[in-house]
Structure 1
Amino acid sequence: MTTSQQPPNDSWLQDSYNSSEDSMDYPIVNTDLLVNVPLDFIKDTFNHADLPELFTNFEAVLQGLEFSYEADTEKLEDASLQVEIGLLYGLLHARFVTTDQGLAKLSRMFLAGKFGVCPREGCKDCPLLPIGASNVPGVSPLGGYCVYCKDVYLPLSHDVLKGELVDGSFYGSSFPQVFLSRYPKLESKLITSLDASTNSDSPTYYKDIDTKLSKENMHLFGFKINWGLVE
């Protein structure tokens, strides 16, 4: 299974993949698994609902986050404040990616395979959508949702290989549903494109499916079945 993903051979998907990123780089973003959240979104008090109660001094953290757009956060002497700034950015990020602008950025990342591909062989290297098992910070790392098999994988293998562990709350548990609701035709077009690109010579094509479904090859929850005990 390949880890580098090329855009599927479909003109509609190619157009989405080739769209240019229109945002600048911000120092607070130190992973390619998050998008750049515009400063005006950070400052908009409408986006701060329910967040102040998560911080002992929300205003100080917010000011520090705004300061980070103009200077390196490492210049801040308070190490704990740096951590809180990163947390606030992540929680605002979870809200930004549900906006039209955020979803457009994520569509490009998704089609480029930024979050890796499904480890299941039959899913034909389908790119994963980011998902968190919880909306509460510190509960679980970022995982991936496969639109082909409809399963969730925790954590992202991309994270482990690069030594990165992004908090799952930075995307939240409902992001895939929001994304697919915004782009209702994307799922079917992607699956059709993946199916069309698969042939009998592909290692992920089940040309011997009858053999694979025989009793000798059946597994339950990953374990081979002892039919002698069952029968």
Structure 2
Amino acid sequence: MLRRAVEELSTGSDSDYSKCWISWFLSSKGNEYFCEVEEDYILDRFNLTGLNTEVTNYSQALDLITDNLESDDDIQDELRGSLDVQARLLYGLIHARWIVTARGLAKMLEKYKKADFGRCPRVLCQSQPLLPVGLTDIPYEKSVKLYCARCEDLYSPKSSRHGSIDGAYFGTSFPHLLFLVYPHLIPPKSGPPDMTAGPSVSRESDGRRVAGRRARDELEGSVAEGVGEGVSTAAAALKADRYRPKIFGFQVNEIAKLQRWQEAIRDRSVH
């Protein structure tokens, strides 16, 4: 399903290719989550180590991304569509590596500060900006999710275009590495709403409360769907996978300790 969605997004007229491929890609609808990868980074082949085994027509796809493809006329029509899909895949995998570098983190930080990835729907998170994250580093397996640093939960993008972006294009390490590099950005955990807010803020809080209630109802509904006759919600909760923040495959130490404590409390209350 995810592979088909990615291929359906690879549409564009010949005139679109008259401009720089990366600029065209970033300006296309649905690609707002991506930042621009610097050309110097792409041209350094060390940064692309191993990607030639993951991308079909790797050399041509790289030439297309860097605008070094000799002639578009020499490409057969059936290969042109496939090459564009592979170019998107290659750029996405390069992007996942780029955004965990110092310069890449700085660019994504700008987007985070502008809340380009959306805000958490939960009321107590007080419109906390979200960050994109992948549940796997392997392409075509999981779509991108949005991580809230306050409630430490994951959400699906509102837009179907964003929902079809491959999670591997952001990787499993990005949001937590961002907060390690910029620890002053770590938000406080969810707390009670400000009761001293004025009328205009109250109306805004009402809107967030409705959105949060809707998100909670959807979550409860999804849990209920997995519970059949004779199966308690507690048993379903024990089977549910928790999102575990990791950096390059290793669990974040403080969060890992907290989650072990939370799971121990949950297990005691269930049994």
| TM-score above 0.5, yes or no | yes
Q: Aligned residues, how many?
A: 184
What does residue 116 of structure 1 align with? 118
Alignment of 1:40-189 (within 5 A): 40-67=40-67, 77=77, 78-153=80-155, 155-157=156-158, 159-160=159-160, 165-188=164-187
- For 1:70 and 1:89, locate their aligned partners in 2 and report how far apart those are by CA, in whole Å: 19
Q: How has the CA–CA distance of structure 1 residues 38 and 163 changed in structure 2, closer, same or farther, with 3 Å as cutoff? A: closer
- For 1:100 and 1:196, locate their aligned partners in 2 and report how far apart those are by CA, in whole Å: 35
- For 1:150 and 1:164, locate their aligned partners in 2 and report how far apart those are by CA, in whole Å: 19
Q: Once the 2 structures are TM-superposed, how far is the Cα of residue 175 of structure 1 from its aligned partner? A: 1.0
Q: How has the CA–CA distance of structure 1 residues 126 and 55 changed in structure 2, closer, same or farther, with 3 Å as cutoff? A: same
Match of 1:27 among 24, 43, 51: 24
**Is 2:143–2:165's contact at 8 Å kept on the other side of the alignment?**
yes
- For 1:68 and 1:32, locate their aligned partners in 2 and report how far apart those are by CA, in whole Å: 25
Q: Once the 2 structures are TM-superposed, how far is the Cα of residue 196 of structure 1 from its aligned partner? A: 10
Q: Once the 2 structures are TM-superposed, how far is the Cα of residue 70 of structure 1 from its aligned partner? A: 11
Provide Cα deviations, 1:176-212, integer angstroms capped at 9, x if missing partner.
1111111112114xx39x97993444437xxxxxxxx
- The residue identity in structure 1 corresponding to 2:220 is G
**SS class of match (2:186):** helix
Structure 1: any 5+ residue segments left out of the alignment?
1-24, 205-218, 227-231
Is the helix fraction higher in 1 or 2? Answer: 2
**Is 2:144–2:163's contact at 8 Å kept on the other side of the alignment?**
no
**SS class of match (2:146):** strand
Hey, which bits of structure 1, 4+ residues long, moved more than 4 A? 68-72, 194-197, 223-226
- The residue identity in structure 2 corresponding to 1:171 is F
Q: Once the 2 structures are TM-superposed, how far is the Cα of residue 55 of structure 1 from its aligned partner? A: 2.2
RMSD of aligned Cα (Å): 3.7
Structure 2: any 5+ residue segments left out of the alignment?
1-21, 207-216, 225-231, 234-271
**SS class of match (2:117):** coil
**Is 1:39–1:69's contact at 8 Å kept on the other side of the alignment?**
no
Q: How has the CA–CA distance of structure 1 residues 79 and 142 changed in structure 2, closer, same or farther, with 3 Å as cutoff? A: same
What TM-score, normalized to structure 1?
0.67
- The residue identity in structure 2 corresponding to 1:167 is D
Match of 1:198 among 175, 194, 198: 194
**Is 2:112–2:131's contact at 8 Å kept on the other side of the alignment?**
yes
Q: Once the 2 structures are TM-superposed, how far is the Cα of residue 68 of structure 1 from its aligned partner? A: 7.3
* % same residue: 31
- For 1:63 and 1:76, locate their aligned partners in 2 and report how far apart those are by CA, in whole Å: 16
- The residue identity in structure 2 corresponding to 1:156 is P
- For 1:195 and 1:68, locate their aligned partners in 2 and report how far apart those are by CA, in whole Å: 53
